[in-house]
């Protein structure tokens, strides 16, 4: 029901940075009071991360963009990037998260286990052409 629940789709690519991901999440949130932010008009929001495994893996094997996503999910917010508030924690309320990715093969990245543990994971395997023809 759009009167109670909003949706936001965030597409990841190899060029997605933590700042880009944070700004994409924050763009839909209104200030609720103090350092608390949430979807407008007291609604709830589902954020869908598409191609969550796409952000680049750095020299040390980390995906810093996904660490930011993990921070938002596990701690319920992010840190302010504004110069005058930098380092203060911004609480993001009434959000839930969905994500999709392809299998981590053929140059596609896996996501860290620390992020995986926050999701209920479904593995969907495409049926063979023979199976599709038999249906």
Note the pLDDT of residue 97: 96
- Phi and psi torsions of 66, nearest 5°: -75, -25
Spatial separation of the C-alpha atoms in residues 115 and 104, rounded to whole Å: 15
Question: What does pTM read for this prediction?
Answer: 0.86
Helices 18-26 & 64-75, crossing angle to 10 degrees?
40
DSSP state of 118: T
Spatial separation of the C-alpha atoms in residues 134 and 120, rounded to whole Å: 31
pLDDT tier at 119 (50, 70, 90 boundaries)?
Answer: very high
pLDDT in tens, 64-115: 999 999 999 999 999 988 788 888 899 999 999 999 998 887 767 889 999 9
Spatial separation of the C-alpha atoms in residues 72 and 120, rounded to whole Å: 17
Average pLDDT across the chain, whole number? 90
Percentage of the residues of the chain whose pLDDT score is greater than 90: 57
CB atoms inside a 10 Å sphere around CB 59? 5
User: Helices (H), strands (E): how many in the chain?
Assistant: 4, 7
Spatial separation of the C-alpha atoms in residues 26 and 110, rounded to whole Å: 26
Spatial separation of the C-alpha atoms in residues 49 and 100, rounded to whole Å: 6
80 close to 90: Cβ distance less than 8 angstroms: yes
């Amino acid at each position: 029901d759009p009167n109670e629940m909003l949706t936001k789709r965030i597409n990841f690519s190899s060029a997605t940075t933590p700042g880009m991901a944070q700004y994409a999440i924050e763009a839909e949130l209104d200030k609720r009071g103090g350092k608390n932010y949430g979807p407008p008009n007291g609604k709830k929001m589902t954020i869908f991360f598409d191609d969550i495994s796409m952000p680049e893996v750095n020299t040390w094997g980390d995906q810093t963009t996904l660490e930011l996503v993990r921070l938002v999910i596990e701690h319920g917010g992010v840190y302010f990037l504004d110069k005058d508030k930098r380092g203060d924690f911004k609480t993001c309320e009434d959000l839930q998260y969905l994500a999709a990715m392809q299998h981590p093969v053929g140059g596609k990245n896996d996501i860290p286990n620390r992020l995986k543990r926050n999701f209920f994971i479904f593995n969907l395997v495409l049926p063979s052409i023979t199976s599709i023809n038999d249906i």
